[in-house]
Chains A and B, each alone.
Chain A
Amino acid sequence: MSAQKRPCPEPESDLRAPTVLVAEDEVLIRTMLAQHLRDAGFRVVEAANAREATDIMEAGETVDVLFTDVRMPGENDGVWLAQLVQQNYPAVRIVLASGERDVGQAIVGAKLFSKPYDLDLVENHIRHLLAAAREPALWEESD
């Protein structure tokens, strides 16, 4: 067997890497995006459909950003998932992806990436969302 036992490295930092939940039914696209984001320093949790994504959220997994494909097989699609997360987990930032262009306004405030999308642009957008989330709102600033 080519796989040999490997020592598990100790965590290097006590800072939690931001977690991105990638909900995408196309395994190659999901793997490619997830790997890109992991290489960029994010922790990535993968879901193959809306049901898996909601199961992960309901289990209490900490998620900072939901990246979801709009069209996924199963009872519910990505728009349903995004709306559910927006309602129940308002701190979670949402990003949409779709092969179609007419669903961009389905979720107010959520950017839509049309397939095929640029992985660097997705990464940058997620960084932007997380940076914006860390900045206090104007009405929260103290003098």
Chain B
Amino acid sequence: MTHRHVFPLHMPPHETKSRPSANLETVLVALADVFARMVVAEYLRDCGYEVVEAGSAEDVITVLRAGQTIDVLLLDAQISDGQGFALAREIRQARPGIDIVLTFGIAKSAEKAGEICDDGPLQQPYHPQEIVRRIQKLRRRRKTGSD
């Protein structure tokens, strides 16, 4: 079966931009849920990664086509009405240098973020209420300097 490109990723980027900080690896966190995206992104930044946030497949394409250096893509399979699988397939072809971590929902996103960061997995189970609690925990940690 001939695979038909759905996303315009085969187009070369306009120019390759240098990464914001040369020594940091960059993770593109592509999660539709704003709370999951925010918590996972902040968690990975605390681990020392550069993080770019995307809330849709369109955002992912825009970032990649702009030439932003991305090392890892944490991609929700359900993003943009389930386009995650097709998007991941095309990125693997067009940008083989990007490691793709495909996730299935909030819980898996947290688990995968924990695998990238040595701080360990985010607390499981990881329901939306847990994300809010995690936000509050992060806020407390920033205010008090304790975990």
On A, residues with C-beta under 8 Å from B are 1-3, 5-14, 16-17, 27-28, 30-31, 34-35, 38-39, 43, 45-48, 52, 55-56, 59-62
Contacts and interface: CB of A to CB of B under 8 A. Distances in A.
A38 B144 CA distance: 20
Contacts of B62: 27-28
Given A28-B66, A31-B68, A59-B135, 8 more contacts: A1-B72, A5-B115, A8-B118, A9-B48, A12-B145, A28-B62, A38-B45, A55-B35
Contacts of B99: 1-3
A7 B120 CA distance: 9
Given A3-B72, A11-B145, A52-B34, A27 B59 contact: yes
Contacts of A17: 142
Summarize A's interface: helix, strand, loop or mixed. loop
Contact of A59 (B27, B68, B132, B146): B132
A43 to B, nearest CB: 7
B127 to A, nearest CB: 14
Contacts of B37: 46
Nearest to B118: A5
25 contacts: A1-B99, A2-B99, A5-B116, A7-B48, A7-B119, A11-B141, A11-B146, A13-B145, A27-B63, A28-B62, A31-B52, A31-B63, A31-B68, A35-B20, A39-B20, A45-B38, A46-B38, A48-B34, A48-B59, A55-B34, A56-B34, A59-B35, A59-B135, A60-B135, A62-B139
Interface in B65-80: 66, 68, 71-72
Which one of A2, A27, A46, A60 has the greatest number of beta carbons of chain B within 10 Å?
A: A27
Q: How large is the interface on B (under 10, 10 to 19, 20 to 34, 35 or more residues)?
A: 35 or more
Interface string B43-57: 001111110111110
B80 to A, nearest CB: 12
